[in-house]
Every structure is written in C-alpha cells, then in structure tokens.
Amino acid sequence: MDYKKVDEKDVEYLRTLVDADRILVGDEISEDYSHDELGTVANYPEVLMRVLSTEEVSAIMKYAYEQNIPVVVRGSGTGLVGACVPIYGGIMLETTLMNNILELDTENLTVTVEPGVLLMELSKFVEENDLFYPPDPGEKSATIAGNISTNAGGMRAVKYGVTRDYVRGLTVVMPNGEVLELGGKIVKNSSGYSLKDLVIGSEGTLCVITKAVLKLLPLPKKTLSLLVPFDTFTEAAAVVPKIIKSKAIPTAIEFMERQTILFAEDFLGKKFPDTKSNAYILLTFDGNTKEQVEAEYEVVADLCLSEGAKDVYIVDTDERKDSVWSARGAFLEAIKASTTEMDECDVVVPRNRVAEFINYTHDLEKELNIRIPSFGHAGDGNLHLYICRDELGEKEWEEMLDTAMDKLYAKSLEFDGLVSGEHGIGYAKRKYLFNDYGEYEMGLMDGIKHAFDPKNILNPKKVCQM
Amino acid sequence: MDYKKVDEKDVEYLRTLVDADRILVGDEISEDYSHDELGTVANYPEVLMRVLSTEEVSAIMKYAYEQNIPVVVRGSGTGLVGACVPIYGGIMLETTLMNNILELDTENLTVTVEPGVLLMELSKFVEENDLFYPPDPGEKSATIAGNISTNAGGMRAVKYGVTRDYVRGLTVVMPNGEVLELGGKIVKNSSGYSLKDLVIGSEGTLCVITKAVLKLLPLPKKTLSLLVPFDTFTEAAAVVPKIIKSKAIPTAIEFMERQTILFAEDFLGKKFPDTKSNAYILLTFDGNTKEQVEAEYEVVADLCLSEGAKDVYIVDTDERKDSVWSARGAFLEAIKASTTEMDECDVVVPRNRVAEFINYTHDLEKELNIRIPSFGHAGDGNLHLYICRDELGEKEWEEMLDTAMDKLYAKSLEFDGLVSGEHGIGYAKRKYLFNDYGEYEMGLMDGIKHAFDPKNILNPKKVCQM
C-alpha cells in the first residue's frame, strides 16, 4: 500500500492535538506496542498517541485521512491474532486512558462506558450496584472496546449469549473524522441497516469506538458450580448435548483435560480439587433462589452420573472456588509457559460436534508428533487449541504449524464450524477465513470496508484484506 | 432508474425456471400484490413468481441481474411501510410456498425453516415440542423471513430480546444469484464482518433469505399475566421504569388506553375485563415453577398498587386470557376500522421517556385537532401511533399527516429515540430516517447496499435510497 510516512511536519501538527506526555515518536515507543499477547506478527507504529476523548480521536482521524497516514487502534493488547499490530506503521491510537464509567442508568438498565474500561473494572462496578454484565471472556484485563471489536463470547454464552447481545449503542469516529451515534439506549431498532452490529466484531477496521452503551441485567442472587470428572474426553463431551436436550440451561459448560489442569497447577503452584481423571466438565448455574439453582443442578448432576461421570464435586467453598476458577483463568498462560512458542486455533463448531473435534486433535497429535493442548467452551462449541513448538527448529516449526492449522480448520469446516468463535481473524487468520468464505464473500466484506473507509487508512491488511 | 422492462422473451425464459402455475404476468396478478397491509404506496410487479427453492431464487436472480430487471421479495405482505411494493415493477418473488420446517435439532436447540413459514406455524410447532421461540410480534400471519427482514421485536422483547437475538444462520441469494451461508448452528462467531446481522433488518434490499437457522429456548412451564388499571396514562407509564429498577424482569409490559380498548371491543364484539380506567398496563411473567412466577409478580403487583394502580387483575382463567389477548391482538385492525385511512409512527424511545412521549401525542391531538390512538410496548419503549384521517379531505389530510409525522419524529429524536422500533423504513419512512441520520450516514448505508448489489436491482428506492 502506498501510505504517507509520518514526517516531522506531521508530528508537529499531531503534537497540537494532545498533551505532550500523551504522544510518543520513534524510539520512545516501547516494544510492547509492536505486538499483541501472542506476538505472531510484529511491527512498530511511527507515532503512539494515548487519546482521551472522542474529539481528540476525531481530530487525529481527520488529519490522518487528509494526509493518507494509516491508523491502528489498540486497547490492552490482549488479542491473539495480531489485530492491533500496525502492519504499515503510521499512528497508533491507544485507548486505555479513556477508562471512565460515564453513567449507570437503572431505569433503562444500561451502563455507558469509555472504550478503555477494563472488563474486570466493568464487572466490579456493575456488581457493586447489584447488576450484571453477562459476557465473561477469560481475559479480564481486556478493554471493553476490544471485547466489542472481536464480539468476545466467554464462558457464560451458553445461557446469556455474547458481547453483541449486550451492546445497545456505540459512539464511533469514522476514518475521515466524522462522529456517528449508532443505536442508543433503546431496546428495539429497525431503523436502516444495523451499522452497530457491523462494527461489533470488525476488529478496528471500520471505525474507532469511543463510547458504548451496554445492556445490563439484574445480578442473579445465587450461583453454584459443579466439577464433573470422566474417564474419557469422549464421555465428557457427549454429555453436553444431552444436558442441553434435557432443557437445563447452565450459565457455563467448560471442558478441560487432565494435562491442561496439571500445567495450571504447575504454573500457579496451587492444587486443583481432583486430577485423577482424564477429562472434566465444569458447569455453572445461577438463579434468584437456592431452590431454583438446586432444582436445575440436581437434574444435571444425575444426568452426568448416569452418563458415566466418576463423581460430581459441588464447588461451594471459597477455597474450592478459588482453586477451580484460578486454574481455569490460568490455562492460556500455563500452556504458554509449557512450551517455547505456540499459535492458537479458536474454532467454533455446533456443540454436538465437540467430542469428535477434540478426538480429531488427539489423532492429529499422534499423526504429526506434536502437542495440541486445549480447553474451551463445551456448552457453546468454541474450542481453544494450542499448537506447541516445543523443541522444533524454525523451519520445521513453520511447516508443522501450517500443516496442523490447515488440517484443524479444514476439519471445522467439515463440521459446519467457523474459523473463529471469539478471538477474531486479525492478521494471522486471514488465510483460513479466505479458505472458508472464498473470493466472493471476502470481496463483499472488502466492499463494506471500502464504504466505511474509502482510503483504507484504518487498520489495513486485516480481516478480509489479503 | 433505468431498468429493463420485462418483455415477452424475458417471460418466456422465466417460465422455464418454475412450474406453469407459479408464474403470473400482467393482468393475471391480483391487486393484493401491489401494496402491503397499510397500503400507503402501491405499484404492480410485471411478473409474479411463487418460488419453491434456493435454486429457483438463484436462477431468477442470475437472470434478473444479467438483464437489469428489478426484483422485490414479498412474504405475507403484512408490512406497514411499503417495503414489499415494487416501485419500478419488475419481478416479485413470493415466498409463502417455501413454508417447510426443515429440521428441529434438540442437541443444538435450533430449528431450521424456509422463509415463508408463518410466525404462528413456527410457534405452534416448537411449542408442541416443548420448546420456545421467544420473539412475539403482534402479526402472527407474518412470515419468518419478513420478521427477520424488519428485525421484528414484539411483546416479549423486555425479557427475551428481538428477532436478531434468535437468528443463528441464514442462507441467502445475492443479487447476482450467488448463494451464501451466513453463520450457522454455532453459538459464537468472530469470523469477519457479521453479514448475517447486516441482513437482519435490511428489508429485502441486500439479498433474498431462503433459509434460516433459529435459536430456541426450553418452553417456560408457567406463564401468567396481570392487567393493571390506572387513572392516567402518566401514572401507568411512570411505573414501568420503576418495575425495571426493582429488578423484576417481566416477559412483556404492554400499555393500552381506554379508547383503544373500546375500539377493540367494538371490532371483536367481545368485552374486555375492565374499561373503567383511562390507562392500563398488561404484564406477563414466565418461569419454570408457580413459586418463581408468583414471587416475581407479587413484587410488581405491590409496586403498581403503591404507585397509584386502581386494582390488579390476575389474568388466569381461559376466559379472561382470551378477552385480554384477543383485544391486544386486534388493536391495529380495530383502529383501522375506526377511521377512513391512517398512517403509522413506530418510534422507539428509551423506556423512561414513554410517558412524556405519549403525553406529547395527546397535546398534538388537541393542537392539530386530529386523533392519534396508540398502543405499544411500554417495557421496551416501542410505541405504535396511528394518525387517523377521519373526515379530512385529500389535500388537508396530506398536509396534516406531514405535519403530525414531522412533529412526532422530531420529538422522538429529542428523546434520543429512533425512527422505527420494529416495522422498518421501507418506502414510507425514508424521509424521517434521512432527517435523523443525515447525508453522511445515509450515504454509508447506500455504500453497503452498493457492495451487495452493484446494479441496484434488489428492492431499489427503499430504506437508505432517497
């Protein structure tokens, strides 16, 4: 692409738009800003601007648009597919200083937030007000705008749906600096194409989110988890569609294999309640009364036992809750610590195909002689698989990774799955999206991108741009 | 627009694509197909084709695209804004013969349907299987693809959300005949721009929906309604945000005024349980046990009484249920029968502005000396207002309608509302959408339309095209 390189005149102008301590140039920019959490692709921005307001973002975009300078937005950088990496340099807008919770509206059950509010800050705030923001991605230090940009799902999607279902309104800055309000506090909307829903999951390629109105629910008064061990993963996964069929609706159904739990024990130096079995499912239930929650989990516990569960542990003491949930929260880091380098596959399949898919990864481990530890969301079919480099040399690893990824994504298509459940496409997964959608559908997406961003200055070479 | 008129050669070719009894030309086409339910705009298609399959739709679109013939899709024609009226003639695709329920998947809790399945058929089928499709628009003879095309909301949006929240996957035919699968049975999706969500609510302008995978829930075992009379509409509407604030989540909160109820009594020849008060709210609760439902409605009943309700009627006998819900179902028809002609305003406002908005319509009735009966969804801020012509002459009526609509939509913007909650923009409401969004945002939508439909042959002059 033929973008303008940032020169001294540009920097001089950009310095007039923000305070001196919120603009960094060239070598002043830390290495952290050149990659995301997984770091499979890296490049530095030429200028880093830590923005504070919609007005600042608008002024910067207007200038970048006029000058043809590429712009990438970054929140906490917790992504795994390189979506926030500035492939062509240019300006990086960093949003973590825009971290104010602006309004809690208890009559409309909405909270209005700036884009850089962290997920953990948001859930703490609303829960202190006896309210509930259901989306619950594992990475609690992600920003809310990052979550919106990938349509993050998290653990509670089984019962409550994904981020998309909780975004009522967005304030966005378009690539040319124009500010739009999409949606609002309103519950229903049939007023033209849903630009808001197009922006959700668009990974910072269509516009810059500078404010979000989120839907809240009353906080359920009771929650309880069950940890259920099985001899084999096949048995553990097979019970999930049966739970759904029984018409129980757990809040979450996670799966974990013994090896992943052992990594987490090592990583945290903390014991898990049980590690004797090969596979586990972790279920959560919520409701407003003890009776309601009990009625639901008893049906599910009985069902699990009749389907081969070795036991059912009720996770009710603080100690047990901590040991189970801290392990669950540490899986990604623990697997990362177990190897030299890794890449992730975030496929989503219909939930009655999870067992087949995970068994396929075990076959693939043997076939290719590699490790593919995994964990994920059995209840909604979203699996997180990690292909580990371990002791492979550079060239061997690259070939192996290619082969393994190709096979995993091909298998997900065979099961009517999709490339990404919640981590997005970014830079790293474009090839697999292309393999799934083909030229026509990728071109359609690029046509939409062109309608939003005719000069292609906002996060170019991402998602649908090959 | 410069479209090709359908000639004999075109008809000859089109006859090769469907059975002889499923294609009608010129005078063979009944007047019904020239307008929708409200009939504010009318024009005939040149050819009417009653399609049976994705393959037929694809073959027809391919031909129309090559020949530059406009195409409009129509379901049951229950719309109110002229979205299914073929402004430029051309081909009308009628989908009501594609009315098969294709698959019930109890392991993934989805139902797969053809586009012409009627809402009442769908809900009957899933409820017979002890499952639940929550969206509940008043017009039960609408097709499911019509509901998807307007993102219909209905009464249960307070607790369960709108049609968008229940569409997991769509099969669509693009204007050039290409067939795409958007989404699927999967629960989570972060695989590129959400074309599925863009198609939902796009009123047949982007592509033709030929199949839908819908999310289901377990059927709640208990439901119960309360009818609550108030002296004034202000009191009735003011209690709604307080109910939400109390953290009760009714399934539905509808409002109705005395005069509308009297129209329905007249229209149906059937008595409503109570007509002594000026304003009523009708609440529904659901859950899996009697205790759960009772616990919730008792809190709300007490709250209503402490906020000025004259009484609380429990709608539990079959007779009372029938009298209340048949009246609620007949409001649109009853108001229509009370006047010579009418037009509708389907605004949506934050739910704590409903009282102010309805009071404004009463002021406007006095100011303009017209009737604006209304009913609607107090719980989600979506109001259906009917401007009645009554005895006005043609010119007076047109002027009056313009003035009243301008004022109503301007007021909704003042309250951070939007033009349409669930009935869409179609042909009739484009002006008001433009007034709200302005040139830039309308142009952005038209840019999206162009990406989908570069020759602009699918339902032109609708939604964002002025």
Rounded to two decimals, the ipTM of the complex is 0.96
What are phi and psi for residue A421, nearest 5 degrees? -85, -40
Q: Which residues of chain A make contact with B357, given a CB cutoff of 8 A?
A: none
pLDDT attached to residue B251: 95
pLDDT of residue A268: 93
pTM: 0.96
SS3 content of chain B, % helix, strand, coil (to 5): 40, 20, 40
Report how far apart, in Å, the C-alpha atoms of A45 and of each of A49, A175, B406 are. Answer: 10, 17, 49
Query: Using CA atoms, how far apart are residues A303 and A246, in angstroms rounded to an integer?
Result: 9
Q: What percentage of chain A has pLDDT greater than the value 90?
A: 92
Report which residue type is found at B174: M
Higher pLDDT, A318 or A217: A217
- Chain A residue nearest residue B107, CA to CA: A241
Residue B154 pairs with which residues in a beta bridge? Answer: B136
Q: Are B334 and B272 in contact (CB under 8 A)?
A: no
The rounded mean pLDDT for chain A is 95
Which tokens is A40 given?
A: 């499979």
Residue of B nearest to A186 (CA): B350
Q: How far is B269 from chain A (nearest CA, A)?
A: 33
* Mean predicted confidence (pLDDT) in A228-245: 93
Mean pLDDT, rounded, for A8-33: 98
The confidence score (pLDDT) of residue A179 equals: 98
How many Å lie between the alpha carbon of B193 and the closest alpha carbon of chain A?
5
- Structure tokens of A297? 């989990």
* Per-residue pLDDT at B457: 98
Closest chain A CA to residue B204:
A193
Does pLDDT of A210 surpass 90? yes
CB B455 within 8 A of CB B68: yes
Give the pLDDT confidence of B342-372 residue by residue, as tens digits. 999 999 999 899 999 999 999 999 999 999 9
Question: Does residue A410 sit in helix, strand or coil?
Answer: helix
pLDDT band at A292 (very low <50, low <70, confident <90, very high): confident
What is the Cα B274 distance to its own chain's centre?
A: 28
> Closest to A445 (Cβ–Cβ): which among B174, B193, B202?
B193
CB crowding A208-227: b at 16 or more within 10 Å, else e: bbbbbbbbbbbbbeeebbbb
Residue of A nearest to B194 (CA): A198
Closest listed residue to residue A89, CA positions, set A17, A16, A175, A7: A7
DSSP 8-state code for residue B32:
G
**Helices within B39-131 (DSSP H only):** 54-67, 119-128
Answer whether B409's CB lies under 8 Å from B345's CB: yes
Q: Which residues of B touch A184 (CB under 8 A)?
A: 350, 416-418
A85 and A43 Cβ atoms separated by less than 8 Å: yes
On chain B, the residues whose CB falls within 8 A of the CB of A448 are: 193, 198, 448, 451
Mutate: best of B65, B136, B191, partner A, most A CBs <10 A: B191
Taking CA–CA distances from A130, the nearest residue in chain B reads: B247
CATH label, B221-413, candidates 3.40.50.12780, 3.30.43.10, 3.30.70.100, 3.30.70.2190: 3.30.70.2190
A425 with B184: Cβ contact below 8 A: no
Nearest CA in chain A to B189: A421
8 Å CB contact of A440 and B178:
yes
Q: Which of A314, A376, A315 is nearest to A348 (CA)?
A: A376
Contact flag B188-A422 (C-beta cutoff 8 Å): yes
- Residue B188: closest CA among chain A residues belongs to which residue? A421
**B192, B379, B422: residue with CB nearest A445:** B192
Choose from A181, A191, A380 for mutation: most chain B CBs within 10 A: A191
Closest CA to A152 of A377, A445, A424, A463: A424
Spell out, as residue ranges, where chain B has pLDDT lower than 70: none
- Scored b (16 or more CB within 10 A) or e, A371-408 reads bbbbbbbbbbbbbbbbbbbeebeeeebeebbeebbebb
Give the amino acid at A47: V
**CA B235 from centroid of its chain's CA atoms:** 28
How long a stretch of residues is chain B?
466
Out of B200, B425, B451, the one facing A444 most closely (by C-beta) is B451
A178 vs A18: CA distance, rounded Å: 18
Confidence category of residue A329, pLDDT binned at 50, 70, 90? confident
Q: Among partner residues A150, A152, A188, which is closest to B157 by beta-carbon distance?
A: A188
- Report the greatest alpha carbon distance in chain B: 72
Residue A138, H or E segment: none
Q: Assess whether the region B6-94 and the region B221-413 belong to the same CATH fold.
A: no
In this structure, CATH architecture of domain A6-94 = 2-Layer Sandwich (3.30)
Annotate A143-170 with DSSP letters as a single string: BHHHHHHHT--BTTHHHH--GGGGEEEE
Spell out the domain ranges in chain B: 6-94, 99-216, 221-413
**B416–A184 CB contact, under 8 Å:** yes
Task: Report the distance separating Cα B23 and Cα B11, nearest Å.
Answer: 9
> Which amino acid appears at position B109 of this protein?
L
- What is the strand order of the sheet B47-50 is part of? B23-25, B47-50, B91-94, B71-74
What is the pLDDT at residue B247?
87
Query: What's the average model confidence in pLDDT over A303-327?
Result: 93
Separation CA B198–CA B202 (nearest Å): 7
In the block, residue with structure tokens 């699990």: A304
Report the pLDDT value the prediction gives residue A121, as an integer from 0 to 100: 98
Q: How far apart are CA A405 and CA A420, in angstroms?
A: 13
Element (H, E) at B220: none
Please give the angle made by the CA atoms of A162, A164 and A170, to the nearest 5 degrees.
145
Closest CB to B192 among A108, A417, A464: A464
Amino acid A318: pLDDT: 87
Topology annotation, domain B99-216: 3.30.465
Instruction: Give the Cα-Cα-Cα angle B397, B328, B122 (nearest 5 degrees).
Output: 110
pLDDT tens sequence across A162-176 = 999 999 999 999 999
Question: Which of A108, A151, A190 is best to mutate for the B interface (most B CBs within 10 A)?
Answer: A190
Distance from the B389 Cα atom to the nearest Cα atom in chain A, whole angstroms: 25
